[in-house]
Structure 1
Amino acid sequence: MKIEIKFEMVRHFAEGSVWIVHLAVTQRTRCRYSRPVQFARIEYRVFPAGSAEQNVIRLNVAIEPDSERSDFTDAWGNLYRKAEWPESLDGWTLSVDLFVQTLMDNPFAFAAAAADAPVPDRDFPWPPETAGYRRWEYDPWDNEPAVEAWAREISAPVRGAFKKIQALVDAIHRQFKFCKGMTDVKTPPAEILRLKVGVCQDFSTLLIAAARTFGLPARYVSGYIYEGPKSNRAGSAPSGHGWAEVYFPDIGWRGFDPLNGILACQTHVRVAQGRWYADAAPIVGRFIGAGVTQTTETEITVDKADASGRSIEP
């Protein structure tokens, strides 16, 4: 979801002041089959973890109708739940009620010299938490020289790994157009680069691929975003959001939102992470039913709330 960045956010970061935000999130995802199916299974990653950047105060997740359910933790540390219906089913509804406190007061809170640090070489001793997120370990799109050439051209005028990633974020934000329906979850980064259109998922995928061409660990994050007061929001309903995180020595992980041209901050609620979107997809599933089609609709609201979790939006 694309948002307009307000001056107040920039001012808070510049002053280094603490800005804690309470957000109330509701999600309703409804799936309907064209006729009853004989078996259905879904996995849903809608369980945000607490961290130094966010405090999960309340989380209620419900699935209807009743199903056989099991909880798991995947290879990337995400809690997910599997629901199965072994008998006739005409649809299901997933409901999420989340109250979270976001705590990242300043994503630029690190030594200024760290932003000028060069990109480490391949033999750099990366910490264990970056395993699986580096190019030479896993990259399904590692034969896309156009992405590497673009990344190096855009970032050539600046020095330092952090500043190079900022340059890429700025280029995507300014040169690419938000447009639904032109891409899907399998669109490779080189095609996104060629089209220069897409959604948050596409732009984050391109940034991840570009960061890895420098040898930097990068990963995809799925979650929610606060768009500002209801009176300032676009007419379309808000949706889930996705962004990228890149790891820098002496800084750690930092989130970048290329759609909006900013670093991830108090407006962002992280839910899941992975190498690419597929690892952090909120809902995936399958069903058995010859000739059956499905329609899925998702409604999400993200409102600023008071300390009790009640929306304070006008």
Structure 2
Amino acid sequence: MPILTLSHLTVYRYNQPVAFGEHRIMVRPRESYDQRLIEASLDIDPAPVDLRWVQDVFGNAVALARFDRRATELRFDSRVRMEHAPVEPERVDIEDYARDYPFTYSSEDMPDLLRSIERQHHDPDRIVDHWARRFLDTDTRTPTLGLLTEMTRTIKREFTYIPRPEGGAQSPLETLRTRQGTCRDYAVLMIEAVRSLGFAARFVSGYVYSPTQHEGRIGGGNTHAWVRVFIPGSGWVEFDPTNAIIGNRGLIRVAIARDPYQALPLSGAWTGFPGSAIGMDVTVRIDVEPEPLSAPALSDPPPAPSAPQDVR
């Protein structure tokens, strides 16, 4: 597995000392078969009076920090060293019954997938439904992976990426109307679109990086967002409509949820005079450690000298 070093620094600045309420931090990558943490640290300044870790309903690692002093600056510095194994699209295996759309999830899976199939945004004119059905073959059944892949690539190709560091995700109707948005907006649009077709989908918050110098990525320097769709045979599969990535190559999962508000990297409150907050800075850096050079192959040893002959 490639080894990565990840640094995520968030700094809140105020023009006079303020008090801090409890803060909720979700920056620790999830551990799985394709992600393994080697080292992880979270430094907070001013130091919290209490810091505890919990798992939320989705199994995400959440740190809860409480403070007892005022300050003009609040810093969260997360550092991680981890192994990350890319899963390529060719490794997505699909059960025979689900290779083509439409299909129905098995009776064993359906009870646990229902909440991830439910629509979350009001769409009385079924605009999202109409857009999603453009990816279906009209005369025959549609290959499942082909449908999801083409939707991912179409968002990348036809929409304009507009960074927006603050604020939540806009509605999928707004994204379709303006044809632009952030990675969060693209993820919400794709989730609603595939849910309209009956797929189970979830929102993913994490990081994106370039595995090689030749692979550019949109959304670096900050947290990133994409989609997971449940496909029988492979389970939850990553789709990143911002970068047209299928699989997890260059994607580090931190939080998984049904909706973006459940996967905020950092949230909390402060108390002070109105207008005290003057800014927030976020810096994310991910480096791929060079793989160690393999030891040179040893040549065959020279033949041992023959024993001297006793000539008489």
TM-score by length of 1: 0.81
- Which residue of the partner structure matches residue 168 of structure 1? 151
For 2:287 and 2:107, the matched residues in 1 are separated by 42
Q: Which one of the candidate residues 39, 42, 50 is aligned to 2:20?
A: 39
Matched, 1:23 2:20: no
Conserved 8 A contact 1:122-1:215:
no
- Which residue of the partner structure matches residue 210 of structure 2? 227
Shift of 1:217: 0.8
Q: Which one of the candidate residues 229, 232, 236 is aligned to 1:246?
A: 229
- Which residue of the partner structure matches residue 304 of structure 2? none
For 2:194 and 2:218, the matched residues in 1 are separated by 34
**SS of aligned partner of 1:209:** helix
- Which residue of the partner structure matches residue 89 of structure 2? 107
For 1:237 and 1:262, the matched residues in 2 are separated by 14
CA distance change for structure 1 residues 108 and 140 in 2, over 3 Å: closer, same or farther?
same
Conserved 8 A contact 1:182-1:198:
no
Q: Which one of the candidate residues 262, 267, 279 is aligned to 1:295?
A: 279
Shift of 1:237: 6.7
Q: Which one of the candidate residues 247, 253, 265 is aligned to 1:264?
A: 247
Q: Which one of the candidate residues 81, 84, 89 is aligned to 2:63?
A: 81
Conserved 8 A contact 1:155-1:167:
no
For 1:194 and 1:124, the matched residues in 2 are separated by 37
- Which residue of the partner structure matches residue 135 of structure 2? 154
For 2:232 and 2:252, the matched residues in 1 are separated by 24
For 1:228 and 1:112, the matched residues in 2 are separated by 26
* 1:53-88 residue CA offsets vs partner (Å, 9 max, x unmatched): 111111111111111222221111111011122432
Question: Which piece of structure 1 moves more, 217-226 or 87-96?
Answer: 87-96
Conserved 8 A contact 1:40-1:89:
no
CA distance change for structure 1 residues 195 and 40 in 2, over 3 Å: closer, same or farther?
same
**SS of aligned partner of 1:250:** coil
Structure 2 runs not aligned, ≥5 long: 293-312
Shift of 1:183: 8.8
Conserved 8 A contact 1:119-1:216:
no
For 2:110 and 2:214, the matched residues in 1 are separated by 44
TM-score by length of 2: 0.82
Conserved 8 A contact 2:169-2:185:
no
Shift of 1:142: 4.2
Conserved 8 A contact 2:9-2:78:
yes
Shift of 1:307: 6.0
* 1:231-256 residue CA offsets vs partner (Å, 9 max, x unmatched): 98699972221110000122311000
Matched, 1:178 2:161: yes
* 1:120-149 residue CA offsets vs partner (Å, 9 max, x unmatched): 3488542565353121xxx33043511111
CA distance change for structure 1 residues 206 and 237 in 2, over 3 Å: closer, same or farther?
closer
**SS of aligned partner of 1:222:** strand
Matched, 1:50 2:34: no
Matched, 1:71 2:66: no
* 1:263-303 residue CA offsets vs partner (Å, 9 max, x unmatched): 13231111111012211111111112241324110111111
Structure 1 runs not aligned, ≥5 long: 1-19, 309-314
For 1:69 and 1:175, the matched residues in 2 are separated by 44
For 2:107 and 2:17, the matched residues in 1 are separated by 55
Identity level (%): 23
CA distance change for structure 1 residues 169 and 235 in 2, over 3 Å: closer, same or farther?
closer
For 1:164 and 1:231, the matched residues in 2 are separated by 27
Alignment length (residue pairs): 286
For 2:215 and 2:236, the matched residues in 1 are separated by 31
- Which residue of the partner structure matches residue 281 of structure 1? 264
Conserved 8 A contact 2:6-2:287:
yes
- Which residue of the partner structure matches residue 123 of structure 2? 143
The one-letter code matched in structure 2 to 1:40 is G
For 2:87 and 2:238, the matched residues in 1 are separated by 13
